[in-house]
Structures are given as structure tokens and as C-alpha cells.
Amino acid sequence: MAGVLLYSPLCMRILDREIASGVALGHTTSLILAFFLKAYKDRDDVVEYFFSRNPRNNGYASIDNWLADQRFLDYIFKQMYGEKGGGTSYKPHKCNSIKTEGACPFSSMMEKPEETRERITKLLTTYNNDILEGLDDGTKNMIVNVISKLIQSGKRSRACGFEFETRFELEKVVSNQGGKRRYVSHPVFAYLDEAIKLLKPGEEKVEEPK
């Protein structure tokens, strides 16, 4: 499961961090994360992830005991594989749905430009620091400013696309400072698919979508 979440969009990495911090995700955010993982993992793997990732679950004797106590999660796991809810095999949520539910980290940034830049800097420092720590301050500021301007102009999917480029196509970003950019809007599902294609030899591989 680590490979999928390591290369997943920022919204999914944030939800993963919340679970690992002991946060009990609500019904909607659990659906968002579970349906995304469903595209790459079997049901048992997804159930195991939700159980073992949250340290609050250590007190349960088994996964079955935990599911008996967390009935809404048990229903979600059965629903998303078509065992409940009319037999529909659900697809991952699209970006617009994630924004509507408040799970997109860029959708809530409507402050003044300097406040937006501060929030972006904090997000990138928390989730992309392994990439940013090797860059000079000018390049770091450029990345923050580009994302900030996209958000301020309402282009949040493009902001997500540019964050993608800083993670997987950093050389292009650095060499093209101030130049014309080809922003790629990444639906949640396509984000990981494209990341798989860009992984360099020797890097951790993740499973192709099922």
C-alpha cells in the first residue's frame, strides 16, 4: 500500500497522514480514499490498510472485531466492490467531487496571496520536502508563486498538475523557470497512472490499475 500512496495526489497523501496520526476519517473522506485505493488494491488489502494504518485500532483483537465496531466502514468496503448497494463497482471520485467535499487542499485557499503562499509552503515542506530541500531559495519561491497564482485565478486542477511536475518532472520545472509552461490537469485517477510511467529505473514500482 505504501507505494500507491507515496506516488498519489496530495489530497490522498494528506488523508493517509491523518489516518496515521490517529484521525478517524468521516464517511465521505473514507469513501474518497477507499475508492481511490480500490483501483490499485484488492479488498482485503484496503481493509488491512484502514485497520493497521490508524494507531487507534491497536486495541482491537482482530480486523473482524474492528469491522463489527465500525459498521459504516464495513459497509463501504463491501459497497465499493459491488457486494452492497445494488452491485455497482464504484470508480474513484473525480477531482470536482473531492473539491466539493472539501478534501482538496487547494480548493479552500481563498485568502490573500501572501496567506496562500504561506499555506502552500507549509504543504510542500510537509509532503515534498525531500524534493525541495535540494533546491535554491529562488527555485523554491518560483514553485510556490506559480502554484499560488494558479489557485488565486481559480485553476486548482492546474495547481495540482504543477505540483505533480515538481515531484516527477523537476528537471523540466527548474530549467523552465519563467518560461512558457504546459500545465497538465490531473484527475485523481490519472495522476498515479502517469506517475507510474515517469518512475525512473530502480525506483519503487507500484501496481498497474486493475
pLDDT in tens, 185-210: 778 878 888 888 887 666 666 665 55
pLDDT tens for each residue of the chain, 210 residues long: 667 888 899 999 999 999 999 988 888 898 899 889 988 888 889 999 999 999 999 999 999 999 888 888 888 888 777 777 666 667 788 888 998 888 999 887 766 788 889 999 999 999 988 888 888 999 999 999 999 998 888 888 889 989 998 888 888 888 877 677 767 777 887 888 888 888 766 666 666 555
pLDDT in tens, 73-87: 888 888 777 777 666
What is the 3-state secondary structure of the chain?
CHHHHHCCCHHHHHHHHHHHCCCCCCHHHHHHHHHHHHCCCCHHHHHHHHHHHCHHHHHCCCHHHHHHHCHHHHHHHHHHCCCCCCCCCCCCCCHHHHHHCCCCCCCCCCCCHHHHHHHHHHHHHHHCHHHHCCCCHHHHHHHHHHHHHHHHCCCHHHHHHHHHHHHHCHHHHHHCCCCCCCCCCCCHHHHHHHHHHHCCCCCCCCCCCC
Domains of the chain by residue range: 2-94, 113-186
